[in-house]
Amino acid sequence: QVQLVESGGGLVQAGGSLRLSCAASGSIFSINVMAWYRQAPGKQRELVASITSGGNTNYVDFVKGRFTISRDNAKNTVYLQMNSLKPEDTAVYYCNLVHSRGVFGPSYAYWGQGTQVTVSS
């Protein structure tokens, strides 16, 4: 069992910054991907950014150049540095982890409880 705990959300004005953290605990396989998703009121949950255990990152277009995902493998923690925040970024941000024993082995997914990010205009 893997537990994910997010932190760092809050209220910030447009143009400001926030840094989200997600600490994973439990038995985590070496091959894994950690990601940030978000869900705004009235909308479906959507991917924001992801990072593999090898450090490869991927971003959706609407956050490119503004958000940076990183991780500390020793601490099993993933971060999301959010700069130039916009009111449209307001959402509950969720941490996600998917891991597997091997490239062709079964994978398992886990979710955190979410942290609220509110960007005021």
Confidence of residue 81 (pLDDT cuts 50, 70, 90): very high
Per-residue pLDDT at 105: 85
- pLDDT, tens digit, 9 for 90 and up, residues 84-121: 999 999 999 999 999 998 878 899 999 999 999 999 99
Distance between CA 39 and CA 93 in Å, rounded?
Answer: 7
Does pLDDT of 48 surpass 90?
A: yes
Per-residue pLDDT at 63: 93
Return the amino acid letter for 24.
A
Does pLDDT of 43 surpass 90?
A: yes
Instruction: Give the residue-averaged pLDDT of 25-42.
Output: 94
DSSP string, 45-71: -EEEEEEETT--EEE-GGGTTTEEEEE
Average pLDDT, the chain: 95
Per-residue pLDDT at 30: 86
* Cβ atoms within 10 Å, residue 36: 26
Does pLDDT of 11 surpass 90?
A: yes
Integer angstrom CA distances of residue 43 from 3, 12, 34, 35, 40: 25, 21, 22, 19, 5
Helix (H, G, I), strand (E, B) or coil at 117: strand
Per-residue pLDDT at 1: 86
Size of the chain, expressed as the number of residues it contains = 121
Instruction: Give the residue-averaged pLDDT of 4-10.
Output: 97
CA angle 100-20-14, nearest 5°? Answer: 135
Instruction: Give the residue-averaged pLDDT of 24-31.
Output: 91
Q: Half-sphere exposure (CA, 13 Å, Cβ side) for 17? A: 8
